[in-house]
Amino acid sequence: MIRALFVCASLLAAAAGFAQTPVSAPPPAAPPAAAAAPAPKAWNSLSPQQQQLLQSHQGEWNSLPADRQQSLAKGSERWLSMTPQQRSSAQQRFTQWRTMPPEQRQLLRQRWQQYKSLPPERQQQVRESFNRFRQMPPERRSQLRQQWRQMTPEQRHHAVQQMRAAPPPRHVPR
């Protein structure tokens, strides 16, 4: 989840329009009445590797809400499937997340929700924009960030509208 938040935050920052112009997301839909709450997950149903990872929760496991148990179990499965390099990277991002001020974490959560509320085509456009941004030389990225900071909110809005209206740039192999 932490990785997803960081990726999303980066995607949204690169998309420019979400970094400074508020987007009012539609209110979350009420869950369908037929949707049942997840069933509690028994500690013994976890693999020995999962139990070792989650040992700090063993004493409180039965008192955790079922959705939290499911989330922890799923996260531990994901962790166990990672390569050492992926684990190291995830650990760095988690450390970075924990050291963030609560306001910044909340802002990232809001941006993640904004991103998730976009239609799939728009999410794809945001990912493509972010990937193009990441492939730029650091000097160019810095220059674009500086330009963005110097724009007024109206200029930013106009720039985002132009970006959305323009066809995606074609990749020309070198």
- pLDDT tens digits, residue range 6-17? 444 444 444 433
DSSP per residue over 12-40, as a string?
HHHTSHHHHS---PPPPPPPPTTPPPPPP
Asked if residue 80 is part of any domain, the answer here is yes
Asked if residue 40 is part of any domain, the answer here is no
Contacts 24+ apart (CB under 8 A), 148-155: 148/16, 148/19, 148/20, 153/20, 153/21
Asked if residue 30 is part of any domain, the answer here is no
Owning domain of residue 88: 1-17+65-174
Read off the pLDDT of each residue in 38-62 and give the average, rounded to a whole number.
92
Q: Give 101-144 pLDDT, tens digit per residue.
A: 999 999 999 999 999 999 999 999 999 989 999 999 999 999 99
Asked if residue 79 is part of any domain, the answer here is yes
Asked if residue 137 is part of any domain, the answer here is yes
Asked if residue 22 is part of any domain, the answer here is no
Q: Give 57-96 pLDDT, tens digit per residue.
A: 999 999 999 999 999 999 999 999 999 999 999 999 999 9
Q: How many domains does the chain have?
A: 1
Contacts 24+ apart (CB under 8 A), 150-155: 153/20, 153/21
